[in-house]
Structures are given as structure tokens and as C-alpha cells.
């Protein structure tokens, strides 16, 4: 019933519990009981006595049929889709599906992650129904070397999908983050398994903050599409379908031409191009100027000793405020 209630509220107008109940053939109390757990988890339900309930336009739950209807034909044929209400993490579920049924292209999407994770062992805050948590499984021939720059391609494709959904100003932070208004909006996590020199499988995990407005446990500057104040699409079905359709095209080009085909586009979105930065890997810190990326997706860093290339992995890039960046 929750899907039906939110679909009625998705026009952004107030609807009384009595009218919602009459439409669905249930009591006003049943409407309240259905919405209360969602409200307690932080879902943006605006409740006003005498007026009823209201949610932001498009803030509906994930719907497999709605996603499929909006996918490109190529995308519908490429992946087998799996939609869950709650799992530990979409990447972990993707790994279990591979182990149980064999390696094949598939997508895992969830309303909530109980143990979502990001790069470098960080947790990814994943409340129910508020953000986008999705993982794509891609079999790869030729080993892990052919995956250089893939995480950058995924980030670029996501930014372009968000632009298509009405959001301007998204930028890329090497190697795996999407920023909006200088704060983290989305992240990419790649996990590789199999024979790293031959047949390999890559799991492409993506998290996007969509409706979330507050969380005191996040220890870095962050934002969400709703927080941005832009009047873009908030329907996560539309967002994931737009992104997946673009990703299918991007992966096809990447398999033919590698990151070189995306290098100039990526640099056009580089949030910190020309800035003084620090590259942190464990206890090692390298300082220099961000010159962009090369054709393999490595960061070009101009240091006191000259230009050097820094590959992705367990590294972190930060602005070097000590030099005035």
C-alpha cells in the first residue's frame, strides 16, 4: 500500500488522510500507520493538521516496472535487474548472485543498505527510500589492466545523467567522487574479482544522495539533490534509468577505446583542475598542482620535482589549503 500512497502524493500537493484512505479503500488510521515508519526514518513527508500529507514532487519508491519502461532498448537487454527493499550492500549482494548463478551482467538496486560501504573502508549512510544505491556487474575479458580509468568514466556518465535530469553544476573529484556546490553528492566504488590477468568481473557500485536532508554521522561535507534547491528530477526510477542507459553506451565505448575517449570530457568537469592539492596514501603525502588526467585516467600532478602520474586505488585527494588553493 505504501507505493500507492506515495504515488498519490507524488504531485507535491497536500492530500488528507481521509481522502487518501477513501481512494485506497482503507481508514485514515491505516494511512497514518503506513507513513509513520517512513517519516521516522527521515523520508521527506510534510504533515500539517487540517491539510494532510505532502512529499516533494517525484519522491516515490523504487519500482522495477517503472525503471524498465524508461530504459533504452540496449540497456534492457544488457542487464538482469534485481530490486530489494533492504540488503547489507548492493555490491555484496551482487557478489552473492555471481557466486550462486555464475558471472553475468546484472544490476542490484536497493531501497536501503544496512552496511553500505564506500572507498577506503568508509561506510555509506543509506537510509530507506531517500537515496540511490545501485551496483552493476560487468564481465571483462583481458584482465584488470583494461579497467584503467573505468571509475572516472562511471562518474562522468553519472554527472551527464544528472544534467539530463535537470541538475547543473555537478563536478568530478578524482578519482571517484561527484561534487555539487563543493560538497559530496555521489561516489563510485569498483570491486574486481576473478583472474586479474584474464577473465575478470567488475562490480560498479554507485551511491547518490537524492532526498536526504540531514545526518549527523557523516564526517565530511555532503549534499543531496534535494538539498541543492534545484528543481530537477527527484524520481529515483527516472534517475537510475537515465544513468543506466548512459552507462550502457559508455561501457561499449570504453571497451573499444578505453579512457582515452573520455579524457577531454572528464577534464571539463574536473572540480579541482589547476588547484594545489595533496594526494594521501596511508602515511604518504604528495603535494602539487592538479594538471588533470592522462589517457589512462591517472592524475597528473606537478610537484617540486616535476610532473608525475598518480594512479587511483586507496588514495585520497584533498585541496592543499596551506598553499592558498
What residues are labeled active site?
Answer: 119, 184, 318
Specify the pairing of strand 106-113 against strand 80-87.
Answer: parallel
- Reduce the DSSP state of residue 316 to 3 states and report it: strand
Specify the long-range contacts of residues 312-316, CB closer than 8 Å, at least 24 apart.
Answer: 312/151, 312/152, 312/174, 312/175, 312/176, 313/281, 314/119, 314/120, 314/281, 314/282, 315/175, 315/279, 315/280, 315/281, 316/120, 316/279, 316/280, 316/281
Other C-beta atoms closer than 10 Å to the C-beta of 255 total: 14
Residue 1: all three cell numbers together:
500500500
CA distance 15 to 228: 26
Residue pair 158/243 in contact (Cβ under 8 Å)? The answer is yes
**Look-up: residue for cell 606537478?**
302
Q: Within its chain, how far is the Cα of 91 from the centroid?
A: 12
At residue 83, φ and ψ (nearest 5 deg) are: -115, 130
Could you tell me the sign of the dihedral formed by the alpha carbons of 35, 40, 46, 47, in that order? positive
Widest pairwise Cα distance in the chain: 73
Amino acid at each position: 500500500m505504501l507505493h500507492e500512497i506515495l504515488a498519490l502524493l507524488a504531485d507535491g500537493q497536500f492530500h488528507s488522510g481521509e481522502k487518501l484512505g477513501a481512494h485506497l479503500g482503507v481508514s485514515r488510521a491505516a494511512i497514518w500507520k503506513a507513513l509513520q515508519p517512513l517519516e521516522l526514518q527521515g523520508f521527506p513527508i510534510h504533515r500539517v493538521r487540517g491539510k494532510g500529507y505532502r512529499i516533494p514532487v517525484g519522491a516515490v519508491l523504487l519500482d522495477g516496472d517503472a525503471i524498465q519502461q524508461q530504459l533504452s532498448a540496449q540497456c534492457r537487454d544488457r542487464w538482469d535487474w534485481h530490486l530489494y527493499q533492504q540488503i547489507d550492500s548492493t555490491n555484496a549482494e551482487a557478489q552473492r548472485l555471481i557466486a550462486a548463478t555464475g558471472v553475468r551482467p546484472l544490476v542490484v538496486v536497493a531501497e536501503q543498505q544496512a552496511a553500505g560501504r564506500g572507498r577506503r573502508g568508509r561506510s555509506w549512510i543509506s537510509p530507506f527510500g531517500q537515496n540511490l544505491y545501485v551496483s552493476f556487474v560487468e564481465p571483462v575479458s583481458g584482465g584488470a589492466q583494461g579497467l584503467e580509468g573505468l571509475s572516472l568514466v562511471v562518474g562522468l556518465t553519472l554527472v551527464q545523467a544528472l544534467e539530463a535530469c535537470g541538475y547543473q553544476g555537478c563536478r568530478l573529484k578524482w578519482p571517484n567522487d561527484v561534487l555539487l556546490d563543493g560538497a559530496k553528492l555521489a561516489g563510485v566504488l569498483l570491486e574486481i574479482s576473478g583472474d586479474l590477468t584474464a577473465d575478470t568481473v567488475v562490480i560498479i557500485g554507485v551511491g547518490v544522495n537524492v532526498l536526504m536532508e540531514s545526518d549527523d554521522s557523516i564526517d565530511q561535507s555532503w549534499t543531496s539533490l534535494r538539498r541543492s534547491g534545484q528543481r530537477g528530477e527527484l524520481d529515483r526510477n527516472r534517475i537510475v534509468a537515465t544513468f543506466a542507459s548512459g552507462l550502457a553506451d559508455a561501457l561499449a565505448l570504453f571497451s573499444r577505446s578505453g579512457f582515452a575517449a573520455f579524457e577531454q570530457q572528464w577534464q571539463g568537469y574536473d572540480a579541482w583542475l589547476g588547484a594545489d592539492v595533496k594526494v594521501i596514501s596511508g602515511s604518504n603525502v604528495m603535494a602539487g598542482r592538479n594538471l588533470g588526467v592522462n589517457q589512462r585516467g591517472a592524475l597528473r600532478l606537478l610537484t617540486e620535482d616535476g610532473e608525475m602520474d598518480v594512479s587511483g586505488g586507496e588514495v585520497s585527494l584533498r585541496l592543499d589549503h596551506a598553499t592558498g588553493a
